[in-house]
């Protein structure tokens, strides 16, 4: 068993939402729960999820590599996804991304030396009216990201 007992319990709760012969329907939730513990999804974790749900490892990999919320490479403690789609780009997104990159000293798909931050490009998060939009660890949406708000976010996450 690669993951903690608590993580398997959470996965069990997702599995219980489906008929017993449809355990694999919980694969997306299971990957997210596993990633919450391991931060990213190395092949052995994907294999573990596959075994746990009784499905081929390749099918788990297909899901994990299709959606950008899954980290198939190591990431820092905080993965900040910057929306790079057109509405955000037209409303200060590019400037905000440039400011954040400069502040952290990294480019997209890079991680800071202290392993705290990874920056990635994100697709539209359905909040175009709140541009520029950023998402922390797939869960926390940050809207209207001015330079001041970026400063405050980074400082808060560093604590
Ligand atoms: S384009 Fe950025 S949230 Fe829609």
| Fold match flag (5-66 vs 78-158) | no
Atom of ligand 1 nearest to the CA of 122: 2
Distance 65 CA to ligand 1 centre (A): 22
At 1 the pLDDT is 74
Residue 99 to residue 41: CA distance in whole angstroms: 29
Ligand 1 pocket, residue 90 CB under 6 Å: no
pLDDT, tens digit (0-9, with 9 covering 90-100), for 70-83: 999 999 999 999 99
State the chain's mean pLDDT as an integer: 96
**CA of residue 53 to ligand 1 center, whole Å:** 34
User: 5-66 — its CATH code?
Assistant: 1.10.10
**pLDDT tens sequence across 76-121:** 999 999 999 999 999 999 999 999 999 999 999 999 999 999 999 9
What are the sequence ranges of the domains in the chain?
5-66, 78-158
Residue 116 Cα to ligand 1 midpoint, Å, equals 25
Q: What percent of the chain has pLDDT over 70?
A: 100
Q: Which CATH architecture has domain 78-158?
A: 3-Layer(aba) Sandwich (3.40)
């Amino acid at each position: 068993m690669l993951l903690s007992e608590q993580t398997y319990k959470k996965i069990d709760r997702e599995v219980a939402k489906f008929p017993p012969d449809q355990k694999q329907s919980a694969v997306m939730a299971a990957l997210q729960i596993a990633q919450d513990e391991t931060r990213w999804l190395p092949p052995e974790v994907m294999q573990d999820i596959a075994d746990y749900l009784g499905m081929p490892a390749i099918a788990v990999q297909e899901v994990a590599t299709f959606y950008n919320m899954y980290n198939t490479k190591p990431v820092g403690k905080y993965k900040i996804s910057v929306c790079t789609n057109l509405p955000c780009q037209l409303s200060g997104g590019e400037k905000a991304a440039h400011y954040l990159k400069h502040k952290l000293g990294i480019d997209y798909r890079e991680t800071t030396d202290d392993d705290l931050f990874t920056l990635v490009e994100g697709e539209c998060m359905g909040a175009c009216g709140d541009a520029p939009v950023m998402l922390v660890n797939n869960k926390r949406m940050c809207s209207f990201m001015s330079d001041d708000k970026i400063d405050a976010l980074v400082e808060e996450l560093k604590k």
